[in-house]
Chain A
Amino acid sequence: MKFLSRPEEIILFTILKLRKDAYCVPIRKKASEISGKKWSFGAVYVPLHRLEKKGLVKSYFDNPTPKRGGRSRRIYKITPAGLNALAEVRELQKNMWVEAPEFSKE
């Protein structure tokens, strides 16, 4: 199988956690919270675009709001394929820690 890149993985998780109204601004915020690092918009757009191309998320435009200067939001949803991919990531994570020796962060 093809692995997801780390940013793609994180973005996919944030969309999952946000459940609904997952568009760029909250995704970026959530991703920053999870990773503890600042995400630029570009760093969000590019993985989102790739995820969509891979068919792991799909997007639609909701109604424009005055708050956004009359522009619509692009809302992302995870597709079944996306859920599978996440499941595989979880599996992978679990498998990776099996039989790993104990250590702590310095």
Chain B
Amino acid sequence: MTNEIKPPRLLEKILQYILPRYVGETALGDFKEEYEHLADTRGNTHANFWYFIQIIKSIPAFIGNSIRWGSVMFQNYMKVALRTIRRYKGFSFINIVGLAVGMACVIIILLWIHHEMSFDTHHEKAKSIFRIAIGNELKGESSQRKLVVTPPPLSPALLAEFPEIRASTRLSRGGGEKLLSYENKHFLDSCYAVDPSFFNIFTFDFLEGDASTAFGDPYAIVVSEKMSKKFFGNQDPLGKIIQFDQKADFTVTGVIKDIPSNSHLQTDIFIPFETWGKLYEIPLQHWQYMSFYTYILLDPDVDISRFEAKLPAVAKKYGIPEANLFLQPLLSIHLHSHHIGEISPNTYISTLLLLSSIAVLILLIACVNYMNLTTARASARMKEVGTRKVIGAYRSQIARQFLGESTIMALISLILSLFLAYLSLPFFNSLADRHLVLNGQSLLQILPGILALVLFVGFFAGSYPALFLSSLKPITVLRSGKGRGSRKTRLRNILVVAQFSISLILIISTLLVKSQLDFIRNKEMGFDRDQIVVVPLHEPKIRHNVGPVLEELKRSPQILYAASSMHLPNDVGASTTMKWPGKPDDSKVWVKVSEVSYDFTELYGIEIVKGRSFSREFPSDKNGAFLINESAMKILGSHFRLGIGLSHWGSPDPSGQIVGVMKDFHLNSLHEEIKPLYFYLNPDQGQHLSIRIQGGSIPDTIEFIRDTMERFSPRYPFEYRFFDDLFNAAYITEQKMGSMFGAFASIAVFIACMGVFGLSAFLANQKKKEIGIRKVLGASGSKIVYLLSRDLVWLVLVANLIGWPVAYYAMNRWLQNFAYRTHISLMTFLFAALLILTVTLGTVSCQAIKAALTNPADSLRYE
């Protein structure tokens, strides 16, 4: 009858857990008895209810007890932890410094990631803003060519076509830097030309004026706070007249707060798009003129993919050639858009991932140090653990104690790491080209990350010591007075091997990045780089009539050549389709194109393999002449002859004839294969002046160039660069990446060595007696050193076995980014291995020599 009346199992379990220990067992019995009684007399439901009420009633006491005992035990743990830190100063130092350096790396990377992820988030409607991009399927080429630049009539056409578009704007970078003048102040700055709706789509803080009315007037100009200060100081900027590029006067109608650094749009000046188009006679109705950015604001409830599917039809309708329009969400531009014509350099998400994983690896190395040193010293803590267990500690309590201890270590390291991060942030900023700051505000933003970091370090670093130490049996520990702490050497060895493998991979990667950079620097590019001065042309008048300037420059005996061109030979940016007689009409062949003046190939030392270069001696050249490179010659194939006609910028009729063939040179960065190219002779136009100088006093020659330029273009400040500097700037990303790798690799090796140092100190101490006895029996100092370092040398060798293939695989992948790359040499690997072996041996022998030199009498005196 009553044999199966029992309180529900779950309730019983809960009650068992929360009842105070001193009443626990008996109370459960009592409750069960009463439960049965109630079930008999008043029914099951009543009994269950009663049982449940008992649980509720026990909760306050439970909470009170846990807090009370929790805090008591916490105080004890804290005390023991601080005592341990103080007693073993050396080990604690290694642990704290190692963890702090690792955490500092992670904190910096966290700041950086937070910055990169926050791009363009300050716009209120950011989620509904999209940029239109063009996906261009190239015939005969498997890769897709995507442009983020669009033709100017696209924006109004889309707005008329789709009611779901609330607003749209065109944006132009205005074609280079423009001269702005107010009274006698002149500044050269680039500007954005945008439609009036721009300020309604994007959110900018207007300090003066109003977003919705700023561009009511066609000659309105909006400037940033910084620009306004430069021009007007503390005067009221509204209504002031700024002369724009000597073309027109604009009235200031708004001042915006400086655009934050985490925006892909960066400028200090905005002018109305239509006005800009009129001033520069831009064909705003031209559907082939891909130079403009189109941003749209969609209704928030529009289905994006369905909307996107309607776009290709528009492309077809207006005849955007072989093109397909697609949408880029504003928020994804900075990390995910890497197409032709980006408005500002974007960050590859792979770089983000790579650097974060390196930072995490460094942190892991530091955690491994902690694990190794803590378990190696386990013998020192064994008595404590044994005693605690005898007194009645549960295993979970011991584990919690050690986890707590590692969390305390993590907290101490955190304070130090914030300090380290603060100090090293300027260095990181210079490498990453950012202006990150570590202050209260930025700290608050990454606070969740930092908390997670501390908990991760606390738990991960503490996990193995906690498991290991809490598993000790009190009887074995306490009986012998001293347990054998070094039994678990195998796992320790695995961890050490992991540390060294990571360090090795980082070292090899650094060396290979450096080797590839040297390769680039020394690669025969097909053109000269030395003693060439490059001067950008701003003055529109001389851009279209550059001949007299060149003549004037050539009067100096120090100047060998002077030439003008649309592009520099290391960065030919424009592409067009090429047409020649006999070409089948249906296919489009894309080639690189640039316009150059006479003497250009001679100036840059570009070799002519067939025919001749452009020459004044052939007056017909003036009517249209082409130089093509060998790759272009291959495309022409059997159609190629000197003297055949080509069409320039895809014009229907031939614009001139081919006069010569240039040897292939690297017209873009070494990431890319050499593409087919033609140069078109245009002696009067150009955006850059190239000037080849010879010996003599370079400053005097520069001075001469400055005088000449200031005469021809008095309004624009004189600027010049050496071509080899410009050339190297193209690989700046790789160079900075190389330095960053180098820095991280050094940190990793440093922390790993600190761990080895601590570990060998411990081993030397443990083998004190053995060493003493060996010395008494006549062992030499070198034997002792060998004895202590043998094991670690083995570990380093094993680490090489793991590190080499991984490094090879990873770096091979990275080198695939370059069309022209250095070979991965065995020497690099051997060098890295030797380096790490030397550093390790150096570290270990410090300890070993110390041990070998101690007087055996000292170590054997006791007992």
Contact = CB atoms under 8 A, between A and B. Distances in A.
A73 B27 CA distance: 9
B26 A24 contact: yes
Contacts of B25: 71-72
B322 interface: no
B33 A41 contact: no
A20 interface: no
B288 interface: no
Interface string A33-76: 00000001110010001000000000001001001110111100
Contact of B32 (A23, A28, A49, A68): A68
A45 B23 contact: yes
Contacts of B54: 41
Nearest to B7: A69
B242 to A, nearest CB: 83
Contacts of B31: 41
B6 A69 contact: yes
A25 interface: yes
Interface string B34-48: 101000000000000
A72 to B, nearest CB: 7
Contacts of B26: 23-24, 61, 71-74
B28 interface: yes
Nearest to A64: B29
B317 interface: no
A68 B35 CA distance: 10
Given A40-B57, A42-B57, A68-B32, A49 B27 contact: no
A74 B574 CA distance: 94
B22 interface: yes
Interface string A57-98: 000010010011101111000000000000000000000000
A67 B26 CA distance: 13
Nearest to B22: A49
B57 A68 contact: no
Interface string B44-71: 0000000000100110010000000000
B28 A71 contact: yes
A69 B61 CA distance: 24
Contacts of A25: 30, 33-34
Contacts of B34: 25, 28, 41
Interface in A2-45: 23-25, 28, 40-42, 45
**Interface size for chain B: under 10, 10 to 19, 20 to 34, or 35 or more residues?**
10 to 19
B789 to A, nearest CB: 60
B2 to A, nearest CB: 9
Contacts of A42: 57-58, 61
Contacts, number: 47
Interface string B1-15: 000001000001000
A49 B22 CA distance: 9
A25 to B, nearest CB: 5
Contacts of B32: 68-69, 71
A72 B30 contact: no
Nearest to B20: A45
A5 to B, nearest CB: 18
B23 A71 contact: no
A93 to B, nearest CB: 30
B29 A41 contact: no
Given A40-B57, A42-B57, A69 B29 contact: yes
A68 B33 contact: yes
B29 A68 contact: yes
Interface in B645-678: none
Given A25-B33, A69-B32, A41 B27 contact: yes
Given A67-B33, A68-B32, A69-B32, A24 B22 contact: no
Contacts of A40: 57
Interface in B411-443: none
Contacts of A28: 34
A41 B30 contact: yes
Contacts of A69: 6, 12, 28-29, 32
Chain A CB count within 10 A is highest, among B12, B22, B27, B33, for B33
Contacts of A72: 25-26, 29
Interface string B729-748: 00000000000000000000
Nearest to B34: A25
A58 B36 CA distance: 27
Nearest to B28: A71
A41 B23 CA distance: 11
Contacts of A74: 26
Contacts of B12: 69
A64 B30 CA distance: 12
Contacts of B29: 64, 68-69, 71-73
Interface of B: 6, 12, 22-23, 25-34, 36, 54, 57-58, 61
Given A24-B27, A41-B31, A72-B25, 5 more contacts: A23-B26, A68-B29, A69-B28, A72-B29, A73-B29
26 contacts: A23-B26, A23-B30, A25-B30, A25-B33, A25-B34, A28-B34, A40-B57, A41-B30, A41-B31, A41-B34, A41-B54, A42-B58, A49-B22, A49-B23, A61-B26, A64-B29, A67-B33, A67-B36, A68-B29, A69-B6, A69-B12, A69-B32, A71-B26, A71-B28, A72-B29, A73-B29
Q: Which 8 A-B pairs have the closest CB atoms?
A: A71-B29, A68-B29, A74-B26, A24-B30, A69-B32, A25-B33, A45-B23, A25-B30
